[in-house]
Structure 1
Amino acid sequence: MAKVTFLGLGVMGSPMAGHLEAKGHDVTVYNRTTAKAEAWAAAHKGGFAATPREAVEGAGFVMACVGNDDDLRSVCLGPDGAFAGMSAGSVFVDHTTVSAKVTRELAAVAAENGIGYVDAPVSGGQAGAENGVLSVMCGGTEEDYAKAEPIMAAYGRTVKRLGEVGMGQTAKMCNQICIAGLVQGLSEALLLAENSGLDGEALVEVIAGGAAGSWQMVNRHKTMLAGEYEHGFAVDWMRKDLAICLEAGEETGTPMPVTALVDQFYKDVQTMGGGRWDTSSLMARLKAFK
């Protein structure tokens, strides 16, 4: 069992920290809104602190799951940041989906202070975090990963090192690219079925076990057919991620025509007032723009 700090208690971070506590780790949490950290500590056998630096005192492992590049910098750097309070030999594990650029930037600062760094974005959504079955894509040295893997196992069903620092974030971008194109195709198929008088649920029952099947199809088709889009990863966050994907495409000379197109479709969803809808709301856009 280890002394662990968790920074960021959103819809993903809060249950992930809960799994760490349930596994017997000594957990201290920090959240930008201190009341949320205090509430988490009251509901679990854990403590909370008012700053990242205070929260990481004595921790062997510090896990973070915040919003974006700037949020990550803010919890890591500065006199009250996590790096200012972490001891040499400890390991920082970032579960935020951010750019590989900021990952390498912060990993370099961590290394200067003798701190290990593993970038470890996750996939599986809120349900995966709550059920402790996330997929965790990791980048970092073999030594740092080996230290952190047993800790991440508290909430990760699949935890894998994919290379050096930054490769975890690159893998997450590949994940988001696949989801974006897939959800658009699923939306078009379900709408064609609906407009043709074909029972959408019966259709999915037939094709989900074949080559067209996917997690999105199995888990989202019913709510998509019902026009319900309050079940998961928000469009606002997906556009943040797709911007990182497109930037990586430019940097590496990788054409991403489908990703660029679907990103604009999600922009349309935002214009419709659906920024907080889940990513399956591409179906709502099709109905509105037909």
Structure 2
Amino acid sequence: MKNILFFVVFGCIILSCSPNNVVADQELASDNQSLVDVKITNGVLEFSSKQHLLNVIKEIEKSNNMENWYNNSEFRSLLQRQNKLREADLDHIANTGELGSQADVLFFREDNGELILEKIVEDPRFAAVLNENSFVIVDNVVYHIGEEGVAYISLAENKKILPTFLKNPSMEGATFEKTKAEYFKNVRMASVTDATVGDPYNSNRRIVAEFVRHYSVVYISLVVKMRCQKKNWIGWSNTNCYSMNFSASGVFSEAGVNFPFSGTRSGTNVEEITMFVDEVYNLSLNWVSTSGTGSFKCSSSDPSSTSFSF
């Protein structure tokens, strides 16, 4: 009887130390990891898991200064680089069609025969964890977010390949996955006051409201966005608006389960306003149904706001 009891206890000890339980413990630990657990390698932030990345993104969303949430001189975020671009820079690109040194930050998206100057990484929370050249390390995999898609390679077997990948994301052995933002529903208001020209229905300004799904392999988000755009020689680019506001509601699906959402956003003297609906690291996050209403004034001299539905 003592021998039987000994083997039972011994078996329990072995099972408690099995690899499966160790993995489960690691996954549980990553659920609790936060800002203080972020590491840095070669100027690139390193997260222990996709859940860890998601935890940090949700944390920094609450920050008043997402540009500087990670206090380390070795790290400069893509968000910092994006925020240094001024309207004059965007106008120059949209008038000449030349992206120049910003070709890894901006691109021209074709929409209904028109070109729109866009950020490659639209979600500022995600841009805040990428380094200035759009790299991030998650669970021993280094990712590069580009215009056409995401390139990535595992560092588990050989961390020495990291400097090579940072110089050349299309290196031999890397995987590439084509990605793009998906626009569920949008509306364009072309009759917008242009205070500079003094024309109350100038066609060179417009308001765009849209529901967007951003997909970057390692991170997916759903957002509602409203922005003011200016028509340039080559394409449209963002420009300042006196005031904007919207209310949005609907249903989105995560892992086959439907969830309702609703909310409002407003801003004064801004180019755009955004509502972050949800974010995940798996693939099953999609819009199901959406609706919204908004209004805007492009200048303080506008007698009243213009309203619309989307």
Q: Tell me the TM-score normalized by structure 2.
A: 0.24
TM-score (norm 1): 0.25
Greater Rg over alpha carbons, structure: 2
* Larger helix proportion of the pair: 1
Higher strand share: 2
